[in-house]
Structure 1
Amino acid sequence: MCGITGIFAFNEIGRFNLPNISNATETLEHRGPDIQKVYVSDYVALGHRRLSIIDLNPEANQPMMSEEGRYQIVFNGEIYNYKSLKKDLSQKGVVFKTESDTEVLLQLLIHEGKDALNKLNGFFAFAFYDQHKEELLVARDRYGIKPLYYLEDEDRFIFASELKAILKFGIDKEIDSNALYSYLQLNYLPAPLSMVKGVKKLMPGNYALVKKKSVEFNTYYKLEDTFKKPFEGSYEEAQIQLRSLMENAVEKRLVADVPLGTFLSGGVDSSIISAIASKKVDDLHTFSIGYKGHSFFDETEYANAVAKHIGSKHQVFSLSLNDLYDYLPDVLKSFSEPFADSSALPVYALSKLTKEKVTVALSGDGADELFAGYNKHAALYRLWHPGFKEKMVSSLSAIWKALPKSRNNPIGNKIRQLHKFAEAYKLDPQDQYWLLASLLNARKSSELLSNNLLEKIDFESFDLWKEKLLSPLKSKSINQALQLDQELVLQGDMLQKVDLMSMQQALEVRVPFMDHEVVAFANSLPESFKVNGQRKKMILQDTFRDILPTKIYNRPKHGFEVPLLDWLRKDLKSDIENKWLDKDRIVDQAVFDWDEVQALKKKLFSNNPEDSHATIWALIVFQEWWGQYMK
């Protein structure tokens, strides 16, 4: 697990940027605190920051060069099947100097080129340079677990694990107005968008081949293909296969030459990972966080029950709002582009405290998007299979609209959900999904932007992208909704959040549910195995029911949320009024419309805040990013 960056110059103008490689690599120190190295040739420069996980020997440092000096690689991630790949290569006469997966990847690419990508089981972003051919192969894993940004212009191709490294190459800095428009709706930026115009994210399952005069983008893995081979066995047979695949996926991710543990929130997903790992690791360490004085958000009761059941050495980090406030500056500083999922705060806290004990942690991320675990999935099922209850909720739309709504307490949150369901009931399937997946609609997002920004938005391009993205939902298929979640929410939000927050602490987090064999199997299952009108994640829950305590099944779904509304209304009120959303700043900045910002603040401090706190948080994150990188 590391940080990578590099540049391929197309001409002499591009070559002027090569000396920036050291400063660009330095910005990634948090991703790899152990060592920094760079490689520079006439037209190519590669930089690497290392977090040592497998083979702590200095010979495994990067950039790693082949013995004769022709090939170089910088690599971020882990290849879990590297031992079997190494065995195959050894039988072909390849001699290895290290025990690292990096050297195996280097040799596999030397022998098989881009065809090697489909043989990799792991998560990765890498750049592989052939000095003789003067070609650079840049690739990203199947699901975007590891990030990779790039910029291409007539003079150079630049890439990096984070946007901040690309900015060190002296590029023009202008807001991508379409990206900002998307960000206000979703609270994150899905690939290929970035907040800086001209900088993009390499799509998951894609690679770029960079040559002297051109860049070719290609796809080696298509997520949609995994839905085209339906499972034909029974529910019981599917359970047996799922259990085997998950046990293998966890076991692969337990290989490390450093201390290892698991995140344990008390939800089904992390509990499954921890329970499997506990059977394979003696004295497994598990970690969770709770909130002092906020029982609505606290899940430690369930995490403790699981830890006791599986016999792990469990540690709970109990946080107050003051603790989160103390973490805020570091969290905001860690975003090299705006990212407004507020659950990044507890993930940061959990990563920071877990890092004091271990260097690698396994998490349960990905299960909801594979097996239909969100309230959104249950809502879509009911919208597409309506009965008396659903029609009644819809008919009471005016009542739900009038009642106060808030995520901060059970009653207000239930009213909020009923209102959103009633609103979705009136829409077509595509718009139903978008409403449930977003926090702000298109109209309100437009109103929040200044005329200056609105003039720059290519609405036609955005609408075409959205229409193409949502078109499969015409069939009202939960599996199609899950495909969208995996392409949009999982990659843009959940995986990015975990990567950003954990790597800020140089903690490697591994996600067994994202093993490509598990993903392919989950996506082959009929939706009837996953969700119905009463239950979500059916097959996942039933498959592992025998190894988990009953207590965690008899509870409502709860996300990894924070008591954000209270926090914004109290601890951060002064900064909201006098710093982030101060009138002079908003007007001078000319990004947002002052009247709309003022109305949003009024809503936040009213008796009916609804989801205003989520949008306020998105503006705060943007303002901190703007001040750090764009001002």
Structure 2
Amino acid sequence: MCGIAGIVAFNMVGQLHMINLSRATLALSKRGPDYQGLFTHERVGLGHRRLSIIDVSASAHQPMEDESERYTVVFNGEIFNFQEIRERLIAEGQVFRTQSDTEVLLYSYIRHGEKCLEWFNGFFAFAIYDKQENELFIARDRMGIKPLLYVHDEDKFMFASEMKALKGFGFDKSLDKASILQYLQLTYIPAPFTVFKAVKKLMPGHYVRIKNKEVKFSRYYTIPYDKKAPLQASYEAKQKLLVDTLEGAVQRRLVADVPLGSFLSGGIDSSVITGLAARHVDKMHTFSVGYRDEPFYDETRYAELVAKKFRTEHTVFKLSNTDLYTHLHDILDYIDEPFADSSAIPVYILSQRTRQQVTVALSGDGADELFAGYNKHAALFRASQPSMMNSLLSLGGRFIPDSGSRGGAFSNALRQAKRYANGLQKSPKERYRLWASFTPVAEAVQWLSPQFFGAEDAHEEAYRWYALTREISEDSTINDYLYTDCQLVLPNDMLTKVDLMSMANSLEVRVPFLDKEVVALAFSLEESDKITKGIKKRIVQDAFREMLPAELYKRPKHGFEVPLMKWFQNELRSVILDDLLNDDFIEAQGIFQAQAIRKLKKQLFSSQPGDIQALVWSLIVFQWWWKKHMGDSVSEG
């Protein structure tokens, strides 16, 4: 796991940016604390920061050249089946100098071009430069586990693992207004867009070739989903296939030349990963976080049951709300485009403390999006089933009172009932868009100043993430919603969160559920394999029922909510009123509707704040980001 950066200059103006290659690469030091390497040739520059995982010797440092010195690679990620590919290349006559997956990746491309992407089972973003052809090839993994951002203009093409490296090169910082609108809706900005007009994200499953001044993007992977041809097998056979496929995925991800462990939340997904890993690793190290001040969300008891069953070396980090708040500044400072998923805070702390003992951690991420594990999925399924309850809620939803809290079972249920009733009144596509959002688009527009986001901006581009919902129709099954989640929520929220927070602490996190074989299997299953009335993630639960402690099946999934409202009304009160949402600052900034922000603050500090914490947190994160990265400038973008 590493950080990469690079530039291809098209002319002398672009070449001026090459002098910043070292500074841009250094900005990725937390992604790769072990070594920095640079490569330049004429108008091409490549930079690499290394976190040593496989073949930790100096011979595996990057940028890495082939024996002829024609090709040079910088690579972020891991190819988990590299030994298998290595043997294939040796049979073709290839001689290797290292034991690294980087060299295998390089020679795979040299011998087979972009076709090698079909072989790779892992996560990656890499760039390979061909001196002879003066061509740069860049690719990103299938599911978007590893990030890759770029700037392309008439003078240059620049790329990097994070925005902070691109800022090291320098680029136009005009804001993308439509992205800010989408951020207010979703709490993140979906690819390929970013908060800046000049910067884009390479889409998952895509590659790009840069030769001379020609830049050509191509797609090499689409999730294999044929809704008309599901897997023909018994439910019992499907369960066995899932167990075998996922165990293979876990086993592949145990390859490392450094200490390795596993996150263990006490939920089904991380418990399954831990149990499968424990079959192949003696005394597996496992890590979980507990919440002293939020007992409703503390699931460490279940994690300890799993650890005991699989005889792991288990460590629990018991956190207080003060612990969470203490890390807030560091987290907000590391984020270099607005991103307001508040669960990033405990992920950051878990990664930080886990890194003190291991360099690699397995995670259960991705299972919910593949197998229907969220409350949203249960709601979408229920909404598609005709019932008297749905009819009553659709008619009477407006009479359900608003809930001002997520921190208790009753208030959380009330909030969900209100949201469910509102969704029942919409078409399946509009229902998904509502439930995938924290703030409806019409409301989000109202938070923006007319001078910043006026009528001329309220066109189709402002709703561009809606294009990702094209698979959803009146007769959609849960698989259509999951396919959409894998285009929208998974890469842009969940995987972004884990990558940012783990890399901020130089920890590599591996996600077996997103193995290409597991993904293919998941989308060959039928709706009834994944969800039925009252049962989410059905096949995952059933396939591993005998392996896991029975107690895991006897309690609801709680997730975790950071105590944002308590912070707003206490520790962050003066920051909100006197700094980030200060009236004078809002007016001078010119982005948000000043009157709307004043009303929001009044509601926030009233006795009935309502369910506004996601919006307030989004505003706080944005304002923090603005002050750090934009200063006092007001973009005309």
Judge same fold: TM > 0.5, yes or no: yes
Alignment of 1:334-349 (within 5 A): 334-349=334-349
Pair 471,142 (structure 1): closer, same or farther in 2 beyond 3 Å: closer
- Aligned equivalents of 2:26 and 2:375: distance in 1? 42
Alignment-derived partner of residue 606 in structure 1: 606
**Structure 2: how far apart are the matches of 1:210 and 1:225?**
31
* Conserved 8 A contact 1:144-1:205: yes
Instruction: Measure the CA separation in 1 of the matches of 2:57 and 2:463.
Output: 51
Are the counterparts in 1 of residues 529 and 539 from structure 2 also a CA contact under 8 Å?
yes
Aligned-pair CA distance for 1:619: 1.0
- Within 5 Å, give how 1:107-146 maps onto structure 2: 107-146=107-146
1:439 is aligned to: 438
| RMSD of Structure 2 on Structure 1 (CA) | 1.3
- Report the Cα distance in structure 2 between the residues aligned to 1:518 and 1:328, rounded to whole angstroms: 35
Letter in 1 for 2:287: F
Q: What SS does structure 2 have at the residue aligned with 1:453? A: coil
Task: Tell me how far apart the structure 1 counterparts of residues 84 and 467 of structure 2 sit (CA, whole Å).
Answer: 43
Match of 1:169 in 2: 169
Q: Is the 8 A contact 2:223 2:519 kept in 1?
A: no
CA shift digits 1:466-485 (9 cap, x unpaired): 15634533322210000000
- 1:103 is paired with a residue whose SS is helix
Structure 2 residue aligned with 1:594: 594
TM-score, normalised via structure 2 length: 0.97
TM-score, structure 1 as length reference = 0.98
In 2: Cα distance, 1:146 partner to 1:464 partner: 23
Instruction: Return the alpha-carbon distance in structure 1 between the equivalents of residues 3 and 321 of structure 2.
Output: 31
Gapped runs of 5+ residues in structure 2? 632-637
The 8 Å contact of residues 55 and 98 in structure 1, kept in 2 or not, is answered as: yes
Partner residue of 1:5?
5
Q: Tell me, yes or no, if the aligned pair for 1:259 and 1:358 is still in contact at 8 Å.
A: yes
Following the alignment from structure 1 to structure 2, what is the Cα–Cα distance between the partners of residues 506 and 575? 30
After TM superposition, the structure 1 stretch with the greater mean CA deviation from structure 2, 137-146 or 225-234, is: 225-234
How many angstroms apart in 1 are the aligned matches of 2:204 and 2:90?
A: 30
How far apart, in 2, do the equivalents of 1:465 and 1:362 lie? 30
Deviation at 1:327, TM superposition (A): 0.4
Q: Are residues 352 and 465 of structure 1, via their aligned partners in 2, closer, same or farther at CA, if it must alter by over 3 Å? A: closer
- CA shift at 1:403, angstroms? 4.1
SS in 2 for 1:208: strand
Look up the SS of the partner of 1:136 in the other structure: strand
Instruction: Give the Å deviation of 1:547.
Output: 0.9
Determine helix, strand or coil for the equivalent of 2:522. helix
Q: CA deviation at 1:497?
A: 0.4
Aligned to 1:278: 278
1:290-301 equivalences under 5 Å are: 290-301=290-301
The 2-side partners of 1:563 and 1:303 are apart by 22
- Residues 414-425 of structure 1 aligned to structure 2 (within 5 Å): 414-425=413-424
In structure 2, the residue matched to 1:159 is 159
CA distance in 2, matches of 1:273, 1:459: 45
Q: Number of paired residues?
A: 630
For 2:28, the aligned partner's letter is: L
Query: 1:363-382 maps to which residues of 2 (within 5 A)?
Result: 363-382=363-382
- The answer as to whether partners of 1:366 and 1:514 remain within 8 angstroms in 2 is yes
Runs of 4+ in 1 over 6 A off after TM superposition: none
Output one character per residue of 1:232-284: Cα deviation in whole Å (capped at 9) or x when no partner. 11100100100000100000001101011000011110110011111111111
| Residues 187-225 of structure 1, C-alpha deviations (whole Å, 9 max, x = no match) | 011110111112110000000001112100000001254
- Say which SS state the counterpart of residue 39 (structure 2) adopts: strand
SS in 2 for 1:495: helix
Equivalent residue, structure 2, for 1:61: 61
The whole-number CA distance in structure 2 between the counterparts of 1:349 and 1:519 is 29
Match of 1:361 in 2: 361
**What is the deviation of 1:290?**
1.1
Deviation at 1:47, TM superposition (A): 0.4
Q: What is the SS of the residue equivalent to 2:75? A: strand
Structure 1: runs of 5+ lacking an equivalent = none
- Between the aligned partners of 1:467 and 1:76, the Cα distance in structure 2 is 29
Instruction: Tell me, yes or no, if the aligned pair for 1:226 and 1:520 is still in contact at 8 Å.
Output: no
Counterpart CA distance in 2 for 1:344 and 1:583 is 28
The alpha-carbon deviation at position 458 of structure 1 amounts to: 5.2
Alpha-carbon distance in structure 2 between the residues aligned to 1:86 and 1:467: 40
Report the identity percentage: 50
Say whether residues 1:77 and 2:72 are aligned partners. no
> What letter is aligned with 2:451?
N
1:615 is aligned to 2:615? yes
Instruction: For 2:91 and 2:399, locate their aligned partners in 1 and report how far apart those are by CA, in whole Å.
Output: 71
What secondary structure is seen at the aligned counterpart in 1 of 2:97? coil
Shift of 1:229: 4.5
Instruction: Answer yes or no: is the 8 Å Cα contact 1:379–1:421 preserved in 2.
Output: yes
Match of 2:634 in 1: none
Query: What amino acid maps onto 2:197 in structure 1?
Result: K
161-170 or 228-237, larger mean C-alpha shift: 228-237
Which segment drifts farther, 359-368 or 162-171?
Answer: 162-171
Residue identity in the other structure for 2:509: V
- Partner Cα distance (1:190, 1:611) in 2: 24
Q: Which residue of 2 aligns with 1:427?
A: 426
- For 1:224 and 1:112, locate their aligned partners in 2 and report how far apart those are by CA, in whole Å: 23
How much does 1:620 deviate? Answer: 1.1
> 2:224–2:520: 8 Å Cα contact kept in structure 1?
no
Instruction: Show the counterpart of 2:635.
Output: none
